[in-house]
Amino acid sequence: MSDSTDPRDQADDDQFDGIVDEATDRDPDLAVIEAGSRTLRAMTGPPQGDPVPSRPEDPEVDRALREVETELSTRWGETKLEPSVKRIAALMDVLGDPQHAYPSIHITGTNGKTSTARMIEALLGAFDLRTGRYTSPHVQTITERISLDGAPIDPERFIETYRDVKPYVEMVDAREEYRLSFFEVLTGMAYAAFADAPVDVAVVEVGMGGTWDATNVIDGSVAVVTPIDLDHTDRLGETTGEIAGEKSGVIKQGATVILAQQPVDAAQVLLKKAVSVDATVAREGMEFGVTAREVAVGGQLLTLRGLGGEYEEVFLPLYGAHQAHNAAVALAAVEAFFGIGAEHARTLDIDTIRRAFAQVASPGRLEVVRSSPTVVLDAAHNPHGARATAEAVTESFGFSRLIGVVSTSADKDARGLLEAFEPIFAEIVITSNSNARASDPDELAALAVEVFGEDRVVVEPRLDDAIEAAITLAEEEGEYAGGGVLVTGSIFTVGDARLLLKRG
């Protein structure tokens, strides 16, 4: 065997190492891969097609789906938890453990889980694998949470699955101290639907945390941890290290762990857990990452360093450096699933990778839903997500005047989110959404006045009025031509806005 080295490979390695070395504000092992230097301003029109399903057109099917939704709504909501997998494990047992009928990729983290799951799903599907994807929460319709072959489950199949598992759910309810929650029942439905399909692989996003999350009755051969930050601190811990402790529960014996860029304390916890279960770890910024990135019309053009080598000229139709990093994580996860980097030293077919990423959609994540003026929806709901969104909007859109429409959930760090958006919003319209946990508009407006100043804050309690007011402000003439609107603060705000703008 020759020990000669291809100069091109050495140059690629030098380039990648150079990018890692430039990150001087972190431990080298946790270095941030900085994006490419070129920034091109780009705007795009409304999306072609809609990946989010509408209500069923058949009145009988819609009625049956509403009955299921009503029954599910009588259970504990997703914010009321009894930290245990005892009930979901009991349900899986009486269902015959459907979650063990297929291999799984399990995804946890604070931000980027759903986008990463959608990318993983697209990549696996491009290699002719039948996929099941379970994500939460939904943007508009409950059926979005369970996908087969890259598309939300049909309403009829969702109803049928619920009816199939309902007797077993009631059996477990009768035996346990607490009834199964809304999320636990949906999780059981997803695992049963995947086994019934059957799927070749399940892509599963945790609901909250990891260790005691209802999804954590699977043994994912690949565990993915997207960036961890402060969120759900009342349940998961007050530091990123404590939160990582909960999320590390998805790392199983002998698995491969794909770690996105993490705070140092979180990375230490995750690495310690991986060592304790003999898991293999791949870290963004070391074993994989983003080596080049430039803004392009409708998204961005990437060069990704995977576990097996370089993938050039990959177009991703999503905005922001955070989505580029999600793409790198997704690619590494799929490579790990196929054994690349451990069993095989090779890359996946580049044309298949390009085709898969070019088809990715992530509704409600810097999603353009209208032009003249441009209206963008983003589900940022915590300061970490808001900062990423603010950076992406500044980079990818040529707005001379941006108006924010914001409604948050009452249990979130609203001040931190507002402070993240303050530099990019000329004015902010405070409003509400249809969710019961929506912040009171007057209380949120009081915070906004402290952050923005009274002259930059408008209050419109109804979301439709708020969007109309923001569009009017964005359309002001003269020096403010080229204005835009960003609707954000909560997935519920985005879902409501999508419905309003679609009808409009």
- What residues contact residue 472 under an 8 Å CB cut-off, 6+ apart? none
What does the pLDDT read at residue 344?
Answer: 65
Distance CA 349, CA 254 (A): 27
Report the length, in residues, of the chain.
Answer: 504
DSSP 3-state percent helix, strand, coil across the chain (nearest 5): 45, 15, 40
Beta strands 151-152 and 146-148, pairing class: antiparallel
Please, what's the b/e burial string for 321-349 (b: 16 or more CB within 10 A of its CB; e: otherwise)?
Answer: bbbbbbbbbbbbbbbbbbebbeeeeebbe
The reply to whether omega before 137 is within 30° of 0 (cis) is yes
Distance CA 129, CA 338 (A): 11
What does the pLDDT read at residue 40?
Answer: 21
Distance CA 251, CA 413 (A): 28
Mean of all residue pLDDT scores within the chain: 86
What does the pLDDT read at residue 233?
Answer: 54
pTM (2 d.p.): 0.84
Residue 472: what residue type?
T
| pLDDT beneath 70: ranges in the chain | 1-50, 78-81, 231-237, 342-344, 477-481, 503-504
First-residue to last-residue Cα distance in the chain:
67
Model pLDDT for residues 95-127, shown as the tens digit of each residue: 999 999 999 999 999 889 999 999 999 999 999
Q: What is the DSSP secondary-structure string of 77-136? A: -TT-----SHHHHHHHHHHT-GGGSS-EEEEE-SSSHHHHHHHHHHHHHHTT--EEEE--
What does the pLDDT read at residue 272?
Answer: 94
Distance CA 248, CA 251 (A): 6
What does the pLDDT read at residue 468?
Answer: 95
